[in-house]
């Protein structure tokens, strides 16, 4: 190996180690390799699966990790053992986005509700033999997903407006890539937005970890 190749190798290694995203991935792999590989698999499935299938996949992972799950008010304390990490927060934001899409629309204040009395319940036979949209399966968020949604709502209240805006635009109403997000931030490149998003996750985790009981109660 000549001198130029050695210099090139040293410089490329230096640039790689100085990268913020590479350092996050490296630290994540060293800290918990199993969790790091799981996160990579989740990102891969997020690209390949439909939104509903992907959220069913997430739900199966959570059930496998916590087979003793009970839908009670103390579950949020079980989700986060000691400190909230940026990986957990990023995953919770995606779940909160999905739950927000599945929740019913708010009813207008002056909307007439007297006609709801005339609605008859649908029997199993009607559902079985129906060709209308009533026969389609209705996906309802679980109490676990609703707990995560409530946790994110309480946490976002205490974040800075710019941080809240970036986290919201990235995840709601659906997950966006950094290149798609760049259309909303014309003065930033997609790599700068990646850095700002990771920085926003870190700042939000610091806020949550200062008083975690406040958001888990």
pLDDT at 101 over 70: yes
pLDDT exceeds 50 at position 68: no
The answer to the question of residue 20 being in a domain is no
Q: What is the mean pLDDT of residues 147-176?
A: 93
Please, which pLDDT band fits residue 182 given cuts at 50, 70 and 90? Answer: very high
DSSP codes joined into one string, 137-156: ------HHHHHHHHHHHHHH
Q: Please check whether residue 77 is in contact with residue 150, taking contact to mean a CB–CB distance below 8 angstroms.
A: no
Find the domain containing 183 and state its range: 25-104+121-216
pLDDT band at residue 159 using 50, 70 and 90 as cut-offs:
very high
Residue 3 lies in a domain: no
Task: Write down the H helix ranges in 66-142.
Answer: 75-79, 86-102, 124-129
Flag whether 6 is in a domain. Answer: no
Local confidence band at 177 (pLDDT 50, 70, 90 cut-offs): very high
Q: What is the total count of domains within the chain?
A: 1
Asked whether residue 5 carries a pLDDT value surpassing 70, the answer given is: yes
Residue 19, pLDDT above cutoff 70: no
140 neighbors 102 (Cβ within 8 angstroms): yes
């Amino acid at each position: 190996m000549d001198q130029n190749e050695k210099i090139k190798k040293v410089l490329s290694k230096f640039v790689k180690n100085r990268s913020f995203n590479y350092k996050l991935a490296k630290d994540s792999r060293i800290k918990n390799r199993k969790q790091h590989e799981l996160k990579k698999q989740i990102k891969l499935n997020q690209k390949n699966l439909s939104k509903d299938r992907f959220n069913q996949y997430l739900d199966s992972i959570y059930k496998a990790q916590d087979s003793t799950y009970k839908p009670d008010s103390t579950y949020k304390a079980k989700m986060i053992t000691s400190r909230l990490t940026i990986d957990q927060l990023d995953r919770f934001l995606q779940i909160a986005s999905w739950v927000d899409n599945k929740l019913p629309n708010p009813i207008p204040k002056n909307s007439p509700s007297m006609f709801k009395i005339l609605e008859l319940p649908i029997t199993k036979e009607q559902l079985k033999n129906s060709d209308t949209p009533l026969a389609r399966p209705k996906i309802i968020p679980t109490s676990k997903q609703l707990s995560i949604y409530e946790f994110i709502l309480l946490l976002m209240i205490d974040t800075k407006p710019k941080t809240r805006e970036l986290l919201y635009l990235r995840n709601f109403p659906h997950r966006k890539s950094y290149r798609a997000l760049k259309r909303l931030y014309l003065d930033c490149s997609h790599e700068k937005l990646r850095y700002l998003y990771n920085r926003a996750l870190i700042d939000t985790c610091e806020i949550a970890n200062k008083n975690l009981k406040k958001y888990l109660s």
